Structure 1
Amino acid sequence: MSIGTSWRLSRAQWEFWVVTIYASIDDLKKVELWDDLGNKMNSFDVCWCLMGGFNVVEEKVGLIDNLRSLDDFVDFINFVQLVDFLMISSHFTWSNGRVFNRLNHFSVSFEFFDHVPNVSQIHLPNSLSDHNPVMICEKNVD
């Protein structure tokens, strides 16, 4: 488990904290990460943005093979009340050519959209890794 970086950003009358995550593939370490991070997040009254590789298969073409890990992740997301940015490109961030998974995320507090309502995420082409990078951007609203 790894929390690589965290930033505290202030804008006008509100602030949000950004946390980058690369979660272990080990289920017990992920449970420890979700518990520790959830308790810390609920200790601060700020908006949150979590980004990175959560190593939980939330969406997949085919059967999801580790439902326990998915249940733990969903419990964490519900506990800290996060939601993903709208996806405007492919939902899948990893593929081996036969299997397509969504492993990488940008998830934020619901209140984030009160301050920045027109934000979405897109997946960029993979060039240096077997994962597609995820980028957030402001949507054009006409």
Structure 2
Amino acid sequence: MISLKGEDPWFCTFLYGPPHKEDKQRFWSNLSKIRNESNPCWCIIGDFNIVSNQDEKDGGAPINMSQAGCFLSFMDLSIKGGEFTWSNMRSNQEAIVERLDKIIVSNKWSLIFPKAIGILEAATISDHNPVVLLMEGLKKERKREFKFESRWLLDEECSSNVKEVWNASGSNIGQNQFVKKLKTTRVKLKKWSKIKYGKN
């Protein structure tokens, strides 16, 4: 239960849904009972280990609609940053991506926090993308964007910096390592450019 100053208390559940088919129905049944008994102002965040429709999955076998029907009659909170939150870390025809991580809220909760949204962060360690809840929505101020300068291509040091990052942990990389390398390359080039060319 979360009680903020000047606001009615509300409930937040951090959830890890059962991965095995035989446990899913019982799990969702128990969660439904909790809701029906208290009808709370409720927000549920986590890895649900289930998708609610075929649009939340790409690759692999079609979803089991009976399992998808386990979902509570909650609202699916909008999440910015991507369609899918989990990857099996394979490529080509073996690749499967799904939206397993969600934020669902009761109608009562959505009326109290109408600006709330979720943000999908980059997956750097896990095969899941972290989901972050922003109660007041996105702030308008934006971080300064990274821009690759074409003049860097004329400088051999730029190429050396990029090679150093990408050769650091071998050539076989999955989605997580790819994102991490992109971030590391950006940071390295920004620092190098600042030293070599100054702030401009």
TM-score category by the smaller chain? 0.7 to 0.9
1:45/1:65 CA distance change after superposition, 3 Å: closer
Whose strand fraction is larger, Structure 1's or Structure 2's?
A: 1
Residue aligning to 1:56: 50
Q: Following the alignment from structure 2 to structure 1, what is the Cα–Cα distance between the partners of residues 27 and 68? A: 14
Bigger Rg, structure 1 or 2 = 2
Report sequence identity in percent. Answer: 28
Residue aligning to 1:114: 111
Unaligned runs of 5+ in 1: 1-7
Q: CA deviation at 1:27?
A: 2.0
Q: Following the alignment from structure 2 to structure 1, what is the Cα–Cα distance between the partners of residues 17 and 101? A: 10
Question: How many residues end up aligned between the 2 structures?
Answer: 129
Q: Note the alpha carbon deviations across 1:20-66, whole angstroms, 9 max, x for none.
A: 11111222211111111111121114201111111102311245332
1:124/1:141 CA distance change after superposition, 3 Å: closer
Alignment of 1:1-142 (within 5 A): 8-11=1-4, 12-58=6-52, 59-62=56-59, 64-73=62-71, 77-78=72-73, 82-95=74-87, 96=89, 97=91, 98-137=95-134, 138-140=136-138
C-alpha RMSD of matched pairs (Å): 1.9
Q: Following the alignment from structure 1 to structure 2, what is the Cα–Cα distance between the partners of residues 61 and 136? A: 25
Whose helix fraction is larger, Structure 1's or Structure 2's?
A: 2
Q: Following the alignment from structure 1 to structure 2, what is the Cα–Cα distance between the partners of residues 91 and 85? A: 13
Q: Following the alignment from structure 2 to structure 1, what is the Cα–Cα distance between the partners of residues 70 and 113? A: 29
Q: Following the alignment from structure 2 to structure 1, what is the Cα–Cα distance between the partners of residues 120 and 65? A: 25
